Amino acid sequence: MHTLLPTSIVGSLPKPSWLAQPETLWSPWKLQTDALAEGKQDALRIAVQEQRRSGIDIISDGEQTRQHFVTTFIEHLTGVDFERRETVRIRNRYDASVPTVVGAVSREKPVFVDDAAFLRQQTDQPIKWALPGPMTMIDTLADRHYKSREKLAWEFATILNQEAKELEAAGVDIIQFDEPAFNVFFDELQDWGVAALERAAEGLRAETVVHICYGYGIKANNDWKATLGSEWRQYEESFPLLQKSALDVVSLECQHSRVPIDLVELLRGKKVMLGAIDVATDAVETPDEVADTLRRALAFVDADKLVPSTNCGMAPLSRSVARGKLSALRAGADIVRGELAADTR
């Protein structure tokens, strides 16, 4: 892609109210069987159309065919019992009832490959597909089989690599791994987290992204953020490791966060997907606010490596707010593109 500052969303968009309860995370489907399959495809078409109409350059599926960014993938694997549930602490932050690993995990058939092929048919623009990362996957499960977080992560990395290769063959240009757990488990990140992620991305020709954020704008996350002090330096742990890693792009949260912008320097040489849209507020950014965030980042990332993006998924927002934010992202990027073009004249 040769567009300067190509815009992209991190992942999810709100679902239409006829498909799932709006403004609710992980809300159950309102349709069943064939009607559900058709409804998901219709919603995906709308998500593509809204991104294109807003001038977004890298097109995602808006996660219209999945309920949860981690669980929907795991539901398709064997070795995990969704009936047997245990309460565990997710990312050291909140308790949740989760399924249990009861045997060897494996992927009997592709999970998202048909959906990705359908997305491919909808546009000639570059497309991006998101998968959960290995460390974030293990953090949403109770493990009664491997009895080792690391072992289970390596198993998931192998499975993710199979899925990623088939997504690539279906025409996906960019494959993203969501690893919010990288902002929490720093010892594991050092020991095996980045290595397991590289295993998941091994041998891909598609561009590879790792997305690390402070979570959706839900209460448990907002409460956690309030404890993090005046400067959020969590990225200081992962960025130096990722700068040396095989991953091509790092996606981070920036807009309205307390992340010191100079931490971006730790990624020098990598592409940076910079969150210039806050997903935890209904207030739609002005183009100038977006442009200002991008300009501040440009002190630490080369212009040809900057991808303006959202902080995280927009699933919990209303559709009109999400549309407003897509347009603001594009308009903000346009302002900075104009400035960069003027500089080189």
- Contact yes or no for 273/309 (Cβ under 8 A): yes
Smallest distance from Zn ion to CB 213, Å: 3
> Would you give the distance in Å from CA 146 to the centre of its chain?
27
Smallest distance from Zn ion to CB 251, Å: 8
Smallest distance from Zn ion to CB 105, Å: 24
Smallest distance from Zn ion to CB 60, Å: 13
Smallest distance from Zn ion to CB 42, Å: 26
Residue 113 interacts with Zn ion (CB under 5 A): yes or no: no
Question: Residue with structure tokens 């903000």?
Answer: 332
Candidate ranges 21-29, 231-239, 306-314, 320-328; the one touching Zn ion (CB under 5 A): 306-314
Q: Give how far Cα 37 sits from Cα of 96, 113, 167, 182, 257, Å.
A: 28, 14, 19, 33, 37
Q: Which is nearer to Zn ion, 100 or 234 (CB)?
A: 234
Buried b (16+ CB within 10 A) or exposed e, 303-316: bebbbbbbbbbbbb
With CA atoms as reference, report the closest residue to 225 among 290, 280, 283, 285.
280
Q: Which of 116, 174, 312, 315 binds Zn ion (CB under 5 A)?
A: 312
With CA atoms as reference, report the closest residue to 330 among 280, 278, 277.
277
Q: Which is nearer to Zn ion, 194 or 213 (CB)?
A: 213
Q: Which is nearer to Zn ion, 51 or 311 (CB)?
A: 311
Q: Which is nearer to Zn ion, 154 or 177 (CB)?
A: 177
Angle, CA of 15, 20 and 23, to the nearest 5°? 60
Residue 213 interacts with Zn ion (CB under 5 A): yes or no: yes
Q: Which is nearer to Zn ion, 51 or 100 (CB)?
A: 51
Give residues in contact with Zn ion (CB under 5 A). Answer: 213, 312
